[in-house]
Amino acid sequence: MSPFDTPIERRGTDSIKWGKYAGRDILPLWVADMDFAAPPAVLAALHRRVEQGVFGYGHPWPALEESVLTHLINEYGWAIEREWIVWLPGLVSGLNIACRAIDGEVLTATPVYPPFLSAPRFSDRVLNRADLTQRDGHWQWDMEALAAATTSATRLFLLCHPHNPVGRCWNRTELQALADFAEQRDLIVCSDEIHCGLILDTDKRHIPFASLSPAAAKRSITLLAPSKTFNIPGLGSAFAVIPDAALRRRFLRAMDGIVPHVNVLGLAACEAAYRDCTDWHRELLAYLAGNRDRVAATVAACRGVAMSPVEATYLAWIDVRGLGLQNPAGHFEAHGLGLSDGSDFGATGWLRLNFGCPRATLDEALRRFSAACQAA
């Protein structure tokens, strides 16, 4: 039995995911956290920090920065410098700060994680939207659509890499095409790489956008966090990597007075997550890949629904347009399953299913999924 098989009761706790359907028999497979405990080394680091007992204002310390630098080298062969790091209480803050910092219109590709669509608006920026496309059952970039959506006023490109919700781990050729495009149009690329530790296909690797070339690095803001991979999003610990000093200053200026220090427990957890959890991480990926395969098999066996291969993340992006439902999310809720509504991601008729949960939960959820499809 895997440690990930152990169910942990989250009903009646502080969980947003489970609280949404409190008192109703609906399994919540929506918001992106997993129903697993954090790695033992992270829990031990948190216990040690709590034992010290003092929770004054804190700043990042050398061993923490060392764990970030070593992790990025070991996992991605990406050498960064300490000064390039800007600590943040979350990735969504980072997306909004980028929109605030860069004057001009903002480009992104849909479907996409909803804050990519709201952040430009919050900073009074015009949003340029292009759709990703599905070719041969795989999600791809449509470079023509991207070019058509871009105007002479576009200055910032929000990239989701790996992509939530379509589950692609963009490869070097695709990333280089995006880097060339950014160069031609003089765009800053804000690359949200929060899911980079969740590459499920063993023959694929995450390539940080900024690691492509010095030219790509110079126009990059990379947003990272241990939160998705090690399941600690509630601890609010994240950071941006911004190699270019002038761009980093603009980003820092946009944070002035509104972005708090990262909390000390989040920092302690980050250090341990990146340094001491390699085995836990490997086991997690194998477990999630198994869950992913179960979801794919169920979807393939149901009429009227379809999904592309999930290379990365614990999120399946499911096309339910073939079921002809007026309110897809409501229909699945009526069958005991809480999924994310594709409309929030810019794609009506799609649902996102979070398979970061014990097999027993997933199997029951998939039983309900099949029943909901049959009843449509």
Of 42, 175, 221, 225, the one binding ligand PLP by CB under 6 A: 225
Reduced to 3 states (helix: H, G, I; strand: E, B; else coil), residue 138 is strand
> How near is the Cβ of 194 to ligand PLP at its closest, in Å?
4
Q: What is the dihedral of CA 76, 234, 231, 81, to 10 degrees?
A: 10
User: Using the rule CB under 6 A, is 194 a contact of ligand PLP?
Assistant: yes
Q: Which is nearer to ligand PLP, 71 or 331 (CB)?
A: 71
User: Using the rule CB under 6 A, is 113 a contact of ligand PLP?
Assistant: yes
Alpha-carbon gap, residue 348 to 363, rounded angstroms:
26
Alpha-carbon gap, residue 376 to 371, rounded angstroms:
9
Q: Which is nearer to ligand PLP, 28 or 336 (CB)?
A: 28
CA–CA distance from 283 to each of 7, 231, 290, 319, 355 (Å)? 17, 14, 11, 29, 15
* From 175-183, 225-233, 317-325, 358-366, span contacting ligand PLP (CB under 6 A): 225-233
Residues paired with 105 in a beta bridge:
154
> How near is the Cβ of 229 to ligand PLP at its closest, in Å?
12
* Residue whose structure tokens are 């004057």: 103
User: Using the rule CB under 6 A, is 34 a contact of ligand PLP?
Assistant: no
Residue nearest to ligand PLP (CB): 90
**Residue partners of 246: CB distance under 8 A and separation at least 6:** none
> How near is the Cβ of 227 to ligand PLP at its closest, in Å?
5
In contact, 29 and 339? CB cutoff 8 Å: yes
User: Using the rule CB under 6 A, is 233 a contact of ligand PLP?
Assistant: yes
Among the listed residues 265, 262, 235, the one whose alpha carbon sits nearest the alpha carbon of residue 85: 262
Alpha-carbon gap, residue 318 to 295, rounded angstroms:
10
User: Using the rule CB under 6 A, is 91 a contact of ligand PLP?
Assistant: yes
> How near is the Cβ of 292 to ligand PLP at its closest, in Å?
16
CA–CA distance from 271 to each of 181, 191, 232, 240 (Å)? 35, 22, 12, 16
Alpha-carbon gap, residue 96 to 198, rounded angstroms:
24
User: Using the rule CB under 6 A, is 235 a contact of ligand PLP?
Assistant: no
* From 84-92, 292-300, 318-326, 346-354, span contacting ligand PLP (CB under 6 A): 84-92
Q: Which is nearer to ligand PLP, 166 or 225 (CB)?
A: 225
User: Using the rule CB under 6 A, is 90 a contact of ligand PLP?
Assistant: yes
Of 68, 92, 175, 351, the one binding ligand PLP by CB under 6 A: 92
Alpha-carbon gap, residue 256 to 260, rounded angstroms:
9
- Token code pair at residue 141: 């970039």
Size of the site for ligand PLP (CB under 6 A): 13
Parallel/antiparallel/unpaired status of strands 154-160 and 188-192: parallel
Among the listed residues 34, 7, 42, 37, the one whose alpha carbon sits nearest the alpha carbon of residue 271: 42
Of 67, 108, 164, 308, the one binding ligand PLP by CB under 6 A: 164
User: Using the rule CB under 6 A, is 217 a contact of ligand PLP?
Assistant: no
Of 26, 238, 337, 351, the one binding ligand PLP by CB under 6 A: 238
Alpha-carbon gap, residue 356 to 4, rounded angstroms:
9
Q: Which is nearer to ligand PLP, 317 or 373 (CB)?
A: 317
Q: Which is nearer to ligand PLP, 262 or 373 (CB)?
A: 262
Site string for ligand PLP, 312-351 (x = CB under 6 A): ----------------------------------------
Residues that bind ligand PLP (CB under 6 A): 32, 90-92, 113, 160, 164, 192, 194, 225, 227, 233, 238
